[in-house]
Amino acid sequence: MVRLAPIAAGLPATVPFVGPETLERQAGRPFAARLGANENGFGPSPRAVAAMQAAAGEVWKYGDPASHDLTQALAAHHGVRADNIIVGEGIDGLLGLLVRLTVAPGDVVVTSDGAYPTFNFHVTGFGGSLDKVPYRHDAEDPQALLDRARQTGAGLVYLANPDNPMGSWHDGAVIEAMLDQLPEGTLLVLDEAYAEFASASAIPAIAADDPRVIRMRTFSKAYGMAGARVGYAIGHPDLIAAFDRVRNHFGMNRISQIGALAALQDQDWLAQVVARVDGARQRIAAIGAENQLTALPSATNFVALDTHRDGAFARRLVDALASEGVFIRMPGAAPLNRCIRISCAPDPELDILAEALPRALSTLQGFFFT
Amino acid sequence: MVRLAPIAAGLPATVPFVGPETLERQAGRPFAARLGANENGFGPSPRAVAAMQAAAGEVWKYGDPASHDLTQALAAHHGVRADNIIVGEGIDGLLGLLVRLTVAPGDVVVTSDGAYPTFNFHVTGFGGSLDKVPYRHDAEDPQALLDRARQTGAGLVYLANPDNPMGSWHDGAVIEAMLDQLPEGTLLVLDEAYAEFASASAIPAIAADDPRVIRMRTFSKAYGMAGARVGYAIGHPDLIAAFDRVRNHFGMNRISQIGALAALQDQDWLAQVVARVDGARQRIAAIGAENQLTALPSATNFVALDTHRDGAFARRLVDALASEGVFIRMPGAAPLNRCIRISCAPDPELDILAEALPRALSTLQGFFFT
C-alpha cells in the first residue's frame, strides 16, 4: 500500500535501537542507575547549562545555519581553519551525511565486526555493502581493515579510536601509519567520540587538510551533552564543503549551539570530568574484580568487563542487572559479547551497581553451571 | 580528490540557504527587526521555556529515541493513535526522510513553482526529478498538481496548506476532494506548518489511517520553537513505521522533546499567540497600504505584500530593507516574486518596519521610474 523506494523497501522493518526509556516503560519502573549508553553523568559544564537556560526564551529563532560562532571556536580550539570543520546533529547525524555523500548503492564499506552499529545502520540504509573484519585482542585491527579495504576497493573504512564497545585504543602513531597504507580512493572515517578521555599519545597528529581521513568529534561524551545533539567533523575543505550539498541547513538546534560553545570554553570543567571518569573507570574495575569479572583497559568513559563466559551468559547478566534497576549494554558480536559494557558515572550510581552486580550474578548460578 | 557518490557529485556545490546571521556578519551589525524566516517573535509558552530550563542540567542523557511522551500527547491532541505519528527534527528533517523513503533516483516529484525550497532541496538531493506547476491566483493549484502527477506518474506531490510563501489557503474540502482524485500510487505530502494560524475550515478532515496522504506539523511556527527542531508527521501506520528504517534514532534533542510537550499542553498560550499574530497581520497590511503595497490575504504568520512591480524591484526592496536593519525575504519564482514576505512580530519590530519601509522605498525611486 505504501510505495517505498527500492533501497528503503529492502531495509529491515524492525526498530534497530532501543532506548532505556523503552525498557523502563516495559518494566514499569525507572532504572536506578543509567550506565548503558556511555552518557556522562558527571554532566555538562555549569556554564553550558546556564547558557542553555538563558537561550531558552530565544528558541523562537532558528539556529544559525552556519553554526558560525561554534565553528570558529572549534577551529581555534583545534588549531585548524573554519573550513576544516562542519558542525552537525551529533556524530550519528554526520556519519549518515558522510555515507550519503560517499557511498553509492552496492559500494563496499569496511568496518570491524562488533563496531559502532549506527554507522552500519547508515551504510545499509543507503544501500552500501558492509564488509567486516574481526577484532584482534579486543581492539580494532588496523592492518586487517587496510587489507580488506584494498581487497574490496572500499570507499570508506571505519575505525573508532578509542574504540566502542571495548574501550581499547591504538597509539596515534598506529593511526598515522595506517593512513600511509590506505588504498588510493579509500577514506578513513576516524570516529574520535571518546578522544577527550584518552591520553594525548592516542590522538594521531594528522593535518586537517589531509584528504585521506575525516575525524568525528562530539559534545555527547566528555562534554556531557548527549541530549543536545552536537557533533563535528574535521577534514579536507572539499569534503567538509560537500556536507552543504545534503545537510539539513536549519537543522542545528539553537540552544545546543549556544550550550556547546559555552562547554567548549570551559576546559577546566572538562579536565575535572576527565579526572572523575578516570576514577570511575578504576571503581568499575574494582567492582568487577570483586565479582570475578575482569576489566579491560579503557581510554573511554566506559569499561568492558570480561565475564569469561559467552554471549548468552553476558546477555543474561545484562537482563538480570536490568531487573535490579541497572541499565547497561553489551557488545553485539562474538567474541566481544562475552563482555558487558558499563558507563562511568558518579559514585551513587556505582554504589547501586556494586550492590546489584553480585545479586544479578547469583540469579545466573543455574545457568552458569549448566 | 574527494570521491563522492554519483548523486552527491552531481549536486550544486553552492550553499543554498543563507541565514540572517550570515547577512548580519556580512553587514557588520545585527538586524533591528527579524521578520524574514516566519519565526514567531511572540515566543514559546513560558511553561515550555521553564520546562526547557529545568531540563538543561539533564542534557547529559540522550533524548528518548521513541519520543514516547510527546508522541502520546500529540496522539491525544489530534485524536489519533500513537502509531499514526512520527516525531522528527523539524518538518525539514521529516521531509528529507520521507523523500529518502519514497523517491528513487529519477522518480518524478510534483510541486508548485515557488513552493517550499527545502522540499525541493531534498528531492534533488536524493536524485529525484522535480516537476513544477505554476501557482494560480497566488495560491497552489490542486487541479494542476493532480493533472501533472497523473501525467508524470509522480510518487509524491507536495502541497502546503496554508501556503508558504504567499500565505494563501484552500478550504479543507478542496484538499479532501484532491485526495479523491489522487492517482493510484501517488502520495500527497500535505505541509501544514502554518495550520494553527488558519481558520478551522482550512483544515481538511482526513482519517489518520488514510494511506494517500502524510501531513506535516511543527512546533517551529505557532508554538514559537523554531530553534528547537521539533516537527511531526501524521499518516498511515505503515508509512509512519517506515521512518524507523532510516531515521537517526537518537537524533531528537532531549530538551526539545520536553519543551515541545510543555508547549503542547499550553493551548491557552497558543490561542493568545494566534490572536496576536492576527493583529500583526492586520498591522503589516496597514503598513503596506501606507506605502502602496497591497497585502495578500494570509492564513499564516506572515504577509505577502504585492509591490505591483517585478522580481527585480522586490529584490531591491528586500536589500534596501536589510540596509535599514530589517530582515525580510521574498518568493523565489515569478510571478510570486513581485511580492515581499514579512513575518508577523510584536509591535516594537513592526514599528521598525513602519519607519524603515518608506525610507527603503525612497531609495528605489530611481529604479522605480526607469
- pLDDT, one tens digit per residue, over A224-281 is 999 999 999 999 999 999 999 999 999 999 999 999 999 999 999 999 999 999 999 9
A139 and A167 fall within a common domain: yes
B143 and B82 fall within a common domain: yes
**CATH label of the domain that carries residue A256:** 3.40.640.10
Q: How far apart are CA A273 and CA A265, in angstroms?
A: 14
Mean of the per-residue pLDDT values for chain A? 97
- According to DSSP, the residues that pair with A157 across neighbouring strands are A110, A188
Final residue before a domain boundary, out of A238, A266, A294: A266
**Residue A369 Cα, gap to closest chain B Cα (Å):** 37
Q: How far apart are CA B304 and CA B331, in angstroms?
A: 9
Establish if B113 belongs to a structural domain: yes
Final residue before a domain boundary, out of B221, B250, B265: B265
* Host domain of residue A74: 46-266
Beta strands in A230-362 (DSSP E): 231-234, 294-295, 302-306, 326-327, 339-343
Q: How many domains does chain A have?
A: 2
pLDDT tens-digit map of A161-180: 999 999 999 999 999 999 99
Establish if B217 belongs to a structural domain: yes
Tell me, yes or no, if B207 comes closer than 8 A to chain A by beta carbon.
no
Tell me, yes or no, if A103 comes closer than 8 A to chain B by beta carbon.
yes
Residue A291, SS3? coil
A92 and A169 fall within a common domain: yes
B74 and B134 fall within a common domain: yes
Q: Give me B93's grid cell.
A: 528533517
Burial classification of residue A207, based on how many CB atoms lie within 10 Å of its CB (0-12 exposed, 13-18 middle, 19 or more buried): exposed
Tell whether the model's pLDDT for residue B369 goes beyond 80.
no
End-to-end CA distance of chain A: 49
A237 and A360 fall within a common domain: no
Q: For chain B, give the number of residues.
A: 370
Cβ contact B246:B34 at 8 Å:
no
pLDDT tens-digit map of B77-99: 999 999 999 999 999 999 999 99
Yes or no, beta carbons of B89 and A251 under 8 Å apart: yes
Between residues 31 and 90 of chain A, which touch chain B (CB distance below 8 Å)? 34, 37, 39-44, 49, 52-53, 56-66, 68, 89-90
A54 and A111 fall within a common domain: yes
Nearest to A39 among B60, B211, B238 (CB): B60
A335 and A253 fall within a common domain: no
B327 and B310 fall within a common domain: yes
Tell me, yes or no, if B200 comes closer than 8 A to chain A by beta carbon.
no
A216 and A361 fall within a common domain: no
Question: Cβ contacts of residue B32 below 8 Å, gap of 6+?
Answer: B324, B325, B326, B349, B352, B356
Give the number of A-B residue pairs with CB atoms closer than 8 Å: 268
Establish if B364 belongs to a structural domain: yes
B70 and B169 fall within a common domain: yes
Which residues in chain B are contacts of A244 at CB distance < 8 A? 13-16
pLDDT tens-digit map of B229-240: 999 999 999 999
Mean of the per-residue pLDDT values for chain B? 97
Establish if B325 belongs to a structural domain: yes
Report residue A2's pLDDT band, with 50, 70 and 90 as the boundaries: confident
Cβ contact B274:B196 at 8 Å:
yes
Final residue before a domain boundary, out of B247, B265, B283: B265
**Residue B370 Cα, gap to closest chain A Cα (Å):** 37
- Per-residue pLDDT, averaged over A101-124, amounts to 98
Establish if A285 belongs to a structural domain: yes
B164 and B248 fall within a common domain: yes
B82 and B222 fall within a common domain: yes
pLDDT value for B368:
52
Establish if A85 belongs to a structural domain: yes
Nearest CA in chain B to A260: B59
- b or e along B338-351 (b: 16 or more beta carbons within 10 Å of the residue's beta carbon)? bbbbbbbbeeebbe
Yes or no, beta carbons of B8 and A100 under 8 Å apart: yes
Residue of B312, B288, B243, B185 whose CA lies nearest to B66:
B243
pLDDT tens-digit map of B114-144: 999 999 999 999 999 999 999 999 999 999 9
Nearest to B248 among A41, A89, A228 (CB): A89
**CATH label of the domain that carries residue B281:** 3.90.1150.10
